[in-house]
């Protein structure tokens, strides 16, 4: 992996007009990048904004896993970086990624997480994410997962599940090699923690993981999650 490797940044979107410009802007400190926005049927100005900022925009059936797989299928880079629309990359992310992937035994990586809100409870969430990522090698999708196309194909891409697609991808990667966590954080929106409350969101996330590990179907977990989400919107 060279310091100047081409990086394809894949951003799945669905009505992200308020966030997409910030996500794309955060990619601009990198060199040799392509930005691919995979839209799942937005009814707002997401597509227009992305196109105006020079991103390649493609359409896909909705579903984060389906959208990210569609983006990976058209990507031309030496590295695939999956970026949520409400997450911002740090300056110099491209060099950090290339350096990380050069380490022996590393098959993928992600970043530490910083949540864009001053609430003390979110600092505890950040610490929990750091602990989980490093000790259990389990970063989640909002930490901007990256890997090579070869490794992505080897593990079978994102499993097209209605939820937990990033969790399952990381489980597959863990059986392949080491996942490195870059200490420079990405910055993500606090919106999902603030919608339901920090404690409730954190507990719900843990219940979802445990349910998945105990064999509850992703479709059923998704229905629980959506019911909780809309109850508080």
pLDDT tens track, the chain, 233 positions: 555 679 999 999 999 999 999 999 999 999 999 999 999 999 999 999 999 999 999 999 999 999 999 999 999 999 999 999 999 999 999 999 999 999 999 999 999 999 999 999 999 999 999 999 999 999 999 999 999 999 999 999 999 988 899 999 999 999 999 999 999 999 999 998 998 899 998 888 888 889 888 888 888 888 877 766 545 44
Task: Check residue 222 and give its pLDDT.
Answer: 84
> CB-based contacts of 59: which residues, under 8 Å, 6+ apart?
38, 39, 40, 41
Nearest to 165 by CA among 53, 3, 12, 4: 12
φ/ψ of 66, rounded to 5, equals -60, -40
Backbone dihedral region for residue 156 (phi beyond 0: left; psi -120 to 50: alpha; all else: beta): left
Indicate yes or no: pTM above 0.75: yes
């Amino acid at each position: 992996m060279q310091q100047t490797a081409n990086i394809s940044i894949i951003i799945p979107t669905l009505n992200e007009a308020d966030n997409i410009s910030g996500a794309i802007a955060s990619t601009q400190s990198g060199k040799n990048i392509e930005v691919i926005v995979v839209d799942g049927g937005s009814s707002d100005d997401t597509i227009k904004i992305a196109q105006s900022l020079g991103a390649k925009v493609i359409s896909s059936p909705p579903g984060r896993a389906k959208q990210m797989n569609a983006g990976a299928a058209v990507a031309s880079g030496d590295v695939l970086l999956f970026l949520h629309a409400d997450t911002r990359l740090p300056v110099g992310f491209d060099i950090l990624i290339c350096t990380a992937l050069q380490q022996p035994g590393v098959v993928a990586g992600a970043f530490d997480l910083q949540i864009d809100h001053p609430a003390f409870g979110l600092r505890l969430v950040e610490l929990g994410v750091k602990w989980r990522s490093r000790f259990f090698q389990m970063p989640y999708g909002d930490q901007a997962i990256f890997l090579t196309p070869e490794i992505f194909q080897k593990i079978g891409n994102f499993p097209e599940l209605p939820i937990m697609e990033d969790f399952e991808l990381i489980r597959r990667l863990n059986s392949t090699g080491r996942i490195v966590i870059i200490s420079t954080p990405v910055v993500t929106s606090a919106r999902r923690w603030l919608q339901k409350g920090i404690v409730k969101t954190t507990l719900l996330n843990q219940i979802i993981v445990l349910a998945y590990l105990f064999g509850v179907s992703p479709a059923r977990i998704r229905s629980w999650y959506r019911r909780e989400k809309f109850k508080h919107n």
